[in-house]
A and B are shown apart, each in its own frame.
Chain A
């Protein structure tokens, strides 16, 4: 909700003043390892095929957003039975496995070794409820005249639940992420909508019949929720109503050299995947 308030505030400022793209000099930090270890168990599948991506950070304005990392060793361990699972280096930054065994509420440990440094992270596989309904409407969103896609699900009562939703429009470069908690809505039927307004500045048009959207609803831990909330709120940052941006630290720590922690996050989630086509 905070994200939405901040986004609205930013939109409001933009409509009353002028914006233009300019050249700015920024400082350059040393490259750092990035671990995108997203272990997601899609409901209705076995969840045995998983991919972990390793890369290095680059200067902010570089066209190459990231440098891939090969030759690292990637291992995930099930904390209760100490079974180690080695991910295979595909030589393109991806490390994969076909043998992952997802267990709800089980804690796992990730270990990555690269260039003589070791990185460790812990997470627990959080479950997620099923999506009750997916439908389209025009009146639910901020603008009564444009289409939006809605998902509805029942938040379990008396438990602190955290969710991540991802809406990826087929053919678009950048997905839309929302961090959700049940702080104000515990036990209720949650409604999350994704609406698109016309914006000439970014060449964005509203949804039209035929548009396809891939929808993912992840059940996540509170620690990952805090991480994603900060990541999302800082993604479009710098406006007068945004908080001072800070360095985003994930859960991948370097036990021998704490200053050389890795960016990114090791998450283990249950996810509901679906696709919706606008009528």
Chain B
């Protein structure tokens, strides 16, 4: 009898196995209708939860029943709603910013900014724009690129140099996306300011490693920047007046709140003051961010984004130069059903650079354009399994440069470097799998392919050697051209294909700590050729092809994560080891400008970087901030290879130009009252590697220097302290006008940080001396920000 009962119970439990139902929808901010990225959505009392995606979409699947569904996002009041799961349903939510701020600081660190112990994703930092706005900055200009350098593992080549370096990687190894459009040059005015207008930006996510399968094409990092959608409820005016530049952003609803728009502009005017002061040189920049969206219905939404920025320099009447990024994209979010979300994007970006030298009567123009189509899908299969898959194609059009005479009397002949075309495709599938309650994994595979297309001719070299080693003179020289091969339009010159597996695991040790490990393999097919110490606008983007191999990197990382004191503090420790095959370096004395055959100036080598990063964050209380420390090494080796000879630096390993042994930074913010906030930054870094002279001799009446091994010396250590104070005057209840004054001092103790040290003869005495160039001494600033 007992046996029969047990059998019946087993049968009933099998027959009446519970059905799973899904709730999905969009999460928005009630005050302006902005979609919320990274809000935690969970069913109270269970382990079932998820995060909303870039478009605010969430999907949660659970067994039939009644639950308390909670939406939680730092700085916002939790929203909880009783949900009966007896069928698939769509519920949208609107959440409101918390008005009680007693001991909690206004949005400093977001819930998802703090460590999310459970997800397998590691090596990523998500930063809210509000955090960046509170950091003191040079000349009062809020700068996304400078702020991310406060995080461990991220540095740059000094003030006044463009781009940033992630985990000992080069500037061209970062994929920078603005609303999914590729941005080629992230700085204005040669590195003094970034192209991102903080007023138009909503979220920033930086992947230093463990790069998800949906991204590819750059080996060191992905900086995913998302613009705001625009207030869909009310018209809003935000802006700021600063010493160097000012900004204004307008946003508002469209189509009776079914859509919204945002237009933000920024421009500098220092050049006008320079003209008044009779200074011949001037530099200025401006940029415009634009976004509009329209909700066709519950399951379809269209977005249009654009960015246009321009920099121009004038050196008296001698020469002028300008450069800028332009990007536009159209996206369509389509929700197939409660579990399947898709996004289609059509993107165009262009980066161009031009230089005109009036004295020499010519101008130089170069550009890179790309057309990109992507289709990305996310399938929320169950509460333990989520699938991402998609496809992308990028068509590149490179114009490496054209020289044209500008007058009739010019002695310059017109010259056009060969146009280069290429097509890069990617196909990926990846899963986020909650294997057990404590173990989560993210695994995926990306297949990327790159085809260098014809429509040009390529030089053939004797013995297929574009560079050869001259044994007698012990230097590398151009190979001997023996002819040309013509490639027709659309014909493939060379094709590459690579499988890029990605894997990461997270194991939760207890309620407050976890360990993670990851492996990432990525291929990079386009390269920024730069043989100067810092990136200059004259540097040219070049596709892989007959003589240039794609860069291939493998990165291994392990990390330990802990939250303590009720999530007030968080600690992240990560160790990484990254190798890159096919890292190009330049032969001694290489000449890249106006060179149609750069294959004669380069050698293929490899690079490796390894280090340990520490990040301690305090996110609650009057005082919040973070402390970051990285100890690392980044080096490369370039052997002679098919060219023969020992290679660069005698074939020995040498420091890359961005190797920084110690990188220590502290950022803090203190809320004295509702009226006053204070901020501080403290930075200390080992000086970057340089090549110094080690002797001198006379030739042609000049003292000529002989040099040590490449990058075997270092600039003096870089360090500075910044302070800022923000004053928020009492808001008049009757008016909508809100404002704040930001006072800042950059480099408080006026440490002259060497941006570079040059060596040369003193023209009067003839004796050699070293001259240090420092960009910023102590710089005070005042900015007035307003919101209406």
Contacts and interface: CB of A to CB of B under 8 A. Distances in A.
Contacts, number: 255
Given A60-B695, A173-B764, A247-B707, A184 B594 contact: yes
Contacts of B588: 230, 246-247
A28 B694 contact: yes
A24 B692 contact: yes
Contacts of B568: none
Contact of B773 (A19, A168, A229): A19
B757 A238 contact: yes
Contacts of A83: none
A240 B532 contact: yes
Contacts of B313: 12
Contacts of A56: 697
Contacts of A5: 355, 357, 538, 593
A247 B587 CA distance: 11
A261 interface: yes
B411 A191 contact: yes
B566 interface: no
B101 interface: no
Given A9-B536, A185-B413, A244-B711, A18 B695 contact: no
Nearest to A33: B697
B412 interface: yes
A234 B703 contact: no
A249 interface: yes
Interface residues of B, number: 86
A265 B703 CA distance: 14
Given A57-B697, A241-B536, A8 B318 contact: yes
B379 to A, nearest CB: 48
A119 B90 CA distance: 86
A37 B705 CA distance: 18
A159 interface: no
Interface in B762-780: 762-764, 766-777
Interface in A53-67: 53, 55-63, 65-66
B412 A185 contact: yes
A238 B707 CA distance: 12
Interface stretch (A74-82, A100-108, A110-118, A140-148): A140-148
A229 B411 contact: no
A244 B533 contact: yes
A29 B759 contact: no
Interface string B527-569: 0000111101010000000000000000000000000000000
B698 A66 contact: yes
A26 B769 CA distance: 11
Interface of A: 1-2, 4-5, 8-24, 26-29, 31-32, 34, 36, 38, 53, 55-63, 65-66, 140-144, 166, 168, 172-175, 177, 183-186, 188-191, 193, 202-204, 226, 229-231, 234-249, 251, 253, 258, 261, 263-265
Given A26-B693, A59-B696, 20 more contacts: A1-B360, A5-B593, A10-B758, A13-B160, A18-B777, A20-B771, A31-B695, A36-B698, A36-B699, A60-B705, A143-B316, A173-B764, A174-B763, A184-B403, A184-B413, A231-B699, A238-B758, A240-B532, A244-B531, A244-B657
23 contacts: A2-B593, A10-B758, A17-B160, A19-B772, A19-B774, A22-B771, A22-B772, A26-B713, A27-B713, A57-B706, A60-B693, A61-B768, A65-B697, A143-B318, A144-B317, A184-B415, A188-B411, A236-B758, A237-B759, A238-B759, A239-B756, A243-B590, A251-B473
Closest 10 CB pairs of A and B: A238-B758, A142-B318, A246-B588, A240-B534, A57-B697, A29-B694, A24-B770, A34-B697, A230-B589, A27-B694
Interface of B: 157-158, 160-161, 281, 283, 313, 315-319, 355, 357, 359-360, 362, 403, 411-413, 415, 472-475, 531-534, 536, 538, 586, 588-591, 593-594, 657, 690-708, 710-713, 752, 755-764, 766-777
